[in-house]
Structure 1
Amino acid sequence: MFKEKVSKKEFLKVVGMGCLALCVIVGSFNLSSQGNQAKAKTYVIANGHEIKTMDPHDILDSCILVRGNMYDGLTRFQGDPPLLEPWLTESWEAGPEAKEWTFYLRKGVLFHDGSEMTGEDVVYSVEKLLNGGRAIAGTLIKVLKPGATEAVDRYTVKFHLTEPCAPFAGLAQFIFVLNKDVLERHEENGDYGNRWLATHGTRIGKDGAGTGAYGLKEWKPGSYWTYEKFPDYFKGWDQPHMKDVRVEVVYEAATSIVGLKKGIYHYWADMRTYDEMQELMKSPLLQEIHVRNPKINFIHLHNGKPPTSDVHFRKALNYAFDYDSLIQVVLHGYNERNIGYIPNSLFGSLDPEKDWYYTYDLDKAREELAKCEIDYKKYEPLVITTLGGYTTYIAMAETLMAGLEQLGIKARIELTTWPTFCEKISKPETTAHMSIIGLSPYYFDPDHFARLADPRGFGTYAGGSWYENPKITELHKKALATPDKEERIKLYQEAQRIELQDASHIWLMQVNYHNAVNKDVAGLENYSPYGRLQELREFYFKSEWE
C-alpha cells in the first residue's frame, strides 16, 4: 500500500517490532505478585489498567467490572443482539412527546445493607449524579436537570425532561441507584457521599450502598480488588455462578498471555489481536470467542490546538493513514473499516458502497498540507497518545507515525495509563494533538456515539477532539427528539457527511470481539456486547457445577 520509501514488508516489520517493544518492554515476565495457580472457586481476571474510583457515577469505560457487578441501573441491555430490559424497574412508559417518563420500580430489591430500595433512593441518586459533575452525567444533563426527578410514591418515579428524548429508557441504565441512607451518613460538605464511595465502594453489611450481584471485599489500588457475592441479590442465585472473584491489574498484554496459558488467570478483560489469539490458542487450557461487536476505534484530532486546529492539516492526516495495511495485514482482518462515528452494525451508520470517505493517498495528503495556514513545523514533535499495554492501539499509533514520516512530520508516541489518559483529555490545554482510543456501546443507540462529534463529549474521553459544528449539533438534537427510526437514520447520516468534510477525527474501524477464556469457564452463551464477558453472575466453573 505504501507508494514511497516504505514497502509493506518494511511497514509490517516496523509496526510489529514497535508493538512488541512497547508491549514487552519488561523483557521478562514477573507474575509473582499474582501468586501461583488460581485458587479453586475463585475466578481470576486480568485487567489491563487500574481504576481510580468505585463510584459507578464516575465510570464510563473499562470498568464494567465495577458498575456492572456491584451496582444496578434502572434498565440494562442484555443478550446478542442487545435488547433493553427492565432491571431495577418492572416497566416504564413515556408521555406523548417523550418528555415525561414514568418508571415503576421492582419491589423487594435490597441494598447490600439489607434495606429495601425505594423511589427516594432513585431521586437521591439522580441528584448525586447530576449535581456532582460525575462522568456519566454528561449523557443525561442535556435532557434531565437537578430537581426534575419526582418520587410519586414508594415504587414510582417520574422524570421531567427539558426536551424530548426518544432513547431515554436506554439512558436510564446509567442511573445506578444508591442507598440514600448510607451515603447521607458519609456526606462531606453536601457531596452526596462522593468522596467516601469513590474509595470505599459498596460492601456487604452496614455500609452497603449498592444493589449489585457482588459487593467489594478488598481493594488495593493499582494492584487488585476482590468481590464476594451478595446472597440476597434480587435476581437470585438459582443458576450456576461465580462465588468469589479477584481482578488483578496487569498492564502488559504479554504478561496476561503468559498468565492465561499457565492457568493463573481465567480471562483478560479486553479484546485480543490476531497475533495474541494465535499465541493463546497454543494452550490446551483455553477456548476462543469471536463475536461481531459495535465498538469503534478512532483517533481524536485536537480541533482547538495548532496545528491540528487547521482543517487542511487534519485532512492531510486522514489521507496519510494506511487503513488497509492496518486492518487487513497487521490486524489480519479481525476488524472492519468504519467510515463515520456510528458503528457499521448500528442503525444510522454510513454505507461505504454509497458514501464518500478518506482513503490512503499521500498525494492528496501533500495537497492538503500545502493549503495549511499554520506552520506545523513550529509544533513538532507532535504528540500521539494512547494506552500502554493495548497492542491494537499501539499498532494504530505506529501506523499513524509511518504516515507522518512519509510527509516529513515529526511526532512521538506517548503511552499512558487509563486514569492519566482520562485526566489529560478532560481539558483542552492538556489534550494531545492526536489521542487514540475506542468507544464501546453502553446503550445501543446512535446517540451514544453522536457525542463524539458534539459538545456533550467535552470533558470525557469521548470529547478529545474538542470539535463543535452547530449544524451537526442541531441534527443530533433533532434525531434525539424523533421516535421515527428512518428519520433518525437520515439525520445521523447527514451529520456524519458534514463531519467528514471537517475531518475532526480519523475514523478507523469497528472492533469486533476476539478473546480467549479458560476452558473451565462456562455460560459464555450469555455473551452480550454490553457486558463483554464482564457481568460475572452469568458465568461459572464447569468443574464446580457440572
Structure 2
Amino acid sequence: MAAQLDRRRFLGLGAGALGAALLAACSGGKGPGGRTAGGATGPTGSPVRGGTLTFSDTEAVSTWQPQKLGTYSSGNVSFHTNVFLLYFDPYQKKLQPWVAESWSKNDENTKFSFRIRKGITFIDGTQLTPEIVAKNYELYGRGDQRLRVPVHPQVSRGFDHVEVDGDTVTVVLSKPNQQFLIDTTRLNSPILGAKTLGLDLEEAGLPQNSVGAGPFVFESQVPNQSAVLVRRPGYRWAPASSPNQGEAYLDRIVWKVLPEIGLRTGALTSRQVDVARGIQPADESVIKAAGYQLLLYRPPLGTSNYAALRVENEFTKDPLVRRALVLGVDRDGLTRDALTDSYPPPISILNVDNPNAIDLSAEFKYDPGKARDLLEQAGWRQGADGVRAKDGKQLHLTVPQSAQQVALGPAWEYIAQQWRKELGIVLDVRNDPSFAATANTDVTVPIVVSRTSIISLGQSFGGPGNTALLGAPPELVALYRRELEAKDDAEFKAVQAEQQRALHQGSYVIAYFEEAQTFGASPDVHVTFQTQTYPDFYNAWKRG
C-alpha cells in the first residue's frame, strides 16, 4: 500500500477514467463487524494480530485538549489514546465499567460515586489514581482561568466539588443532572495524566502532550495532514464488554486527512487507505460494485440530521414561517432523488436507533399547499419573479454546510430547489467553513444544521447559550429542567418524548434524514463502532 495519497494522480483522472478505475478494483471477503449496506463484507473468525490500518478522514484536528474538541474527526484520532470513567456499549445499549469498576448515585442526581479500578497506568508510567480522577473532574467542572482552560460544557452543569475517600471518587453537584453518567463517556471526558492537567490550553492541545492511558499511543504527526498512533504494550484495562481484553490487535493506525470528497472512494479502491470516512451518496454503488464494504452506523443515543430554526431571526421568529419550512421538505423525495437508502426519512429529531425516539413523522409530512397558505397568512406574497416578499424585503434565507457529513451538500441543494420552486423562497447554501463557524452565534443566520451522537435535547434547545435556536422558548426551558431532574431512565425517556413533541409542534427544528456515518472499508478489514460512531480501532483487525 502506498504510504501517502497522491492527490495529483486522482485529480488528473477524468470522470470516466476514475469511474472505470474504481469499478475495476474488486476483491472478496465476508462478515463485517459493523452494519453493512451491501457489497463485500469483512473477515470473520479469530482476530489477526499485527498490521497497519490506514484511515482517511475529512478534516484536520486543530487541538487534542478535551474541552476544545470541536469536530467529529477529533474523535477518530484521539479517542483511542484515552480511557474514560464509564463506557456506553452501543450494541447492548447500557453503561459498562471502565476506569470505574462500579458506580452509584443518589435519587436526586446530585452525587455520583465511582470506585476506581487499580492497575491502570498512563503512557508516562504514572499511576491512574482516585486523586488524578478527582483533578480531571475539578478541571472539567471549574475550568482554570490561569491556564485559559474553559469548563466542560456538560460536566460543569451544577458542578460543586469532588471528594476522594480511599478508592472512591464522588462528584457533588449543586443541582440535578440526570445525564451525568452518560457525560462521563463523552469524547471530551477522558482521564488524563498530571502532566497534561498542568498545561495551558495551547500546550495541552498538542498531541505529544496528551498523556492518556488508552490502547494506542501518539507517535508522530504532519500537522493538518496526518497522524500515527501505535499499539501500547501492556494495555489490559479495556471496558468490561469489549471482546478484546488485552493489547490492541493492530500494530499501528495511520490517520490521514483527505477533504476532497470525490477522491475518498478512489483512495480506498486503489488500496491507498483501508477505511475511508465520508463516502458520498453518489459513490455508494461504486464502492459495492468494486467489492468493498459500505458500512453504515447510526448513533444509538443520537439525533437525526436536523436544521434548527432561530427564534430571534427576522425571518424564522414567526411560527407560521417556521411551520411552512418544516412542511415544505419532501423527505421521501430527498432520500430517493438526492441521497440513497442509507439516509431514509426520519421519524423524529431523535435518530431511529435511539431507544427514546417516538414516531412523529406524520406531524411533518410534506404538504407544500399548506406551506404556501401559511406563508400567505404570514404576509409573504409572491412577486413577479416568483420570490416571496414582505415590506419590500424578499424571503431570502441562508444555511451553512459542513464537510463532516457528505450527505448535507446534495440534501440542501435539493431542499433549496424545492423551496424556490414550490414555496417561492430563496435559500443560499453556504459551503464555507468560516461562515459555518460564525453562524453558531450569528442571529442573522436563520438556519443551522446539526446532528449529535450523545444528546441532551434540553441543553441543545433550552439551555442557556444554546447555539441551535439562539434563544430559549419557555416550554423548552421547563422541559430542560425536568430532563436534568429525572429520577431514572424511564422518567428521562418520558421527558424526551415531551421534548420531541414540543420541538416538532413548535416548528423549532426540521428533521430531514436519519443520521448515519458512512464508511468504505477494504474487504480485508474487520471493524465495529463506538457509541459516538467512531470506528473501534481497538477491536479492529486486518486479514493477513
Q: Shorter-chain TM-score: which interval? A: 0.7 to 0.9
Structure 1 residue 414: deviation in Å? 1.0
**AA partner of residue 246 (structure 1):** V
| 3-state secondary structure, aligned to 1:337 | coil
Which residue of structure 2 aligns with residue 53 of structure 1? 63
Equivalent residues in 2 for 1:172-251, closer than 5 Å: 172-174=184-186, 175-184=189-198, 186=199, 193-198=200-205, 200-201=206-207, 203=208, 207=209, 209-235=211-237, 238=246, 241-251=249-259
Which residue of structure 2 aligns with residue 127 of structure 1? 138
Task: Name the stretch that deviates more: 108-117 or 447-456.
Answer: 447-456
Task: Name the stretch that deviates more: 482-491 or 240-249.
Answer: 482-491
Which residue of structure 1 aligns with residue 425 of structure 2? 409
Which residue of structure 2 aligns with residue 478 of structure 1? 482
Equivalent residues in 2 for 1:489-504, closer than 5 Å: 489-504=493-508
Whole-angstrom CA distance in 2 between matches of 1:379 and 1:219: 49
Structure 1 residue 98: deviation in Å? 2.6
Whole-angstrom CA distance in 2 between matches of 1:376 and 1:537: 59
Whole-angstrom CA distance in 2 between matches of 1:411 and 1:327: 19
Whole-angstrom CA distance in 1 between matches of 2:247 and 2:201: 34
User: What TM-score, normalized by structure 2, do the two folds share?
Assistant: 0.79
Whole-angstrom CA distance in 1 between matches of 2:413 and 2:141: 39
| 3-state secondary structure, aligned to 1:491 | helix
Structure 1 residue 377: deviation in Å? 6.4
Structure 1 residue 388: deviation in Å? 3.7
Please report the RMSD computed on the Cα atoms of aligned residues, expressed in angstroms. Answer: 3.1
User: What TM-score, normalized by structure 1, do the two folds share?
Assistant: 0.79
Equivalent residues in 2 for 1:90-489, closer than 5 Å: 90-132=101-143, 137-145=152-160, 148-153=161-166, 155-174=167-186, 175-184=189-198, 186=199, 193-198=200-205, 200-201=206-207, 203=208, 207=209, 209-235=211-237, 238=246, 241-270=249-278, 272=279, 274-284=281-291, 286-291=292-297, 293-294=299-300, 295=302, 296-352=304-360, 356-372=362-378, 375=390, 378=393, 381-388=396-403, 390-406=405-421, 407-417=423-433, 420=434, 423-429=437-443, 432-440=445-453, 442=454, 448-455=456-463, 458=466, 463-489=467-493
State, as a whole percentage, how many aligned pairs show the same letter. 18
Which residue of structure 2 aligns with residue 6 of structure 1? none
Whole-angstrom CA distance in 2 between matches of 1:330 and 1:163: 46
Task: Name the stretch that deviates more: 471-480 or 485-494.
Answer: 485-494
**AA partner of residue 413 (structure 1):** V
Whole-angstrom CA distance in 1 between matches of 2:70 and 2:464: 14
| 3-state secondary structure, aligned to 1:538 | coil
| 3-state secondary structure, aligned to 1:490 | helix
Distance change (3 Å), C-alpha of 1:390 and 1:351: closer
Distance change (3 Å), C-alpha of 1:457 and 1:451: farther
Whole-angstrom CA distance in 2 between matches of 1:449 and 1:528: 23
Alignment deviations for residues 11-61 of structure 1 (CA, whole Å, 9 cap, x no partner): xxxxxxxxxxxxx999869x9xxxxxxxx9321111011222111232254
**AA partner of residue 448 (structure 2):** S
Q: Which of 51, 54, 64 pairs up with 1:41?
A: 51
Distance change (3 Å), C-alpha of 1:135 and 1:42: farther
Distance change (3 Å), C-alpha of 1:358 and 1:27: farther
Structure 1 unpaired stretches of 5+: 1-23, 32-39, 187-192
- Contact persistence 1:242–1:540 (CA under 8 A): yes
Structure 2 unpaired stretches of 5+: 1-9, 19-49, 239-244, 381-389
- Contact persistence 2:277–2:520 (CA under 8 A): no
Alignment deviations for residues 383-431 of structure 1 (CA, whole Å, 9 cap, x no partner): 22111474310122112201221222223211134xx4663244235x7
- Contact persistence 1:425–1:464 (CA under 8 A): no
Alignment deviations for residues 239-270 of structure 1 (CA, whole Å, 9 cap, x no partner): 66111111111112220100001000111234
| 3-state secondary structure, aligned to 2:255 | strand
Q: Provide the aligned length of Structure 1 versus Structure 2.
A: 479
- Contact persistence 1:82–1:529 (CA under 8 A): no
Which residue of structure 2 aligns with residue 538 of structure 1? 539
Whole-angstrom CA distance in 2 between matches of 1:388 and 1:182: 30
- Contact persistence 1:46–1:249 (CA under 8 A): yes
Structure 1 residue 466: deviation in Å? 1.8
**AA partner of residue 261 (structure 2):** A
Distance change (3 Å), C-alpha of 1:101 and 1:141: same
**AA partner of residue 282 (structure 2):** D
| 3-state secondary structure, aligned to 2:357 | coil
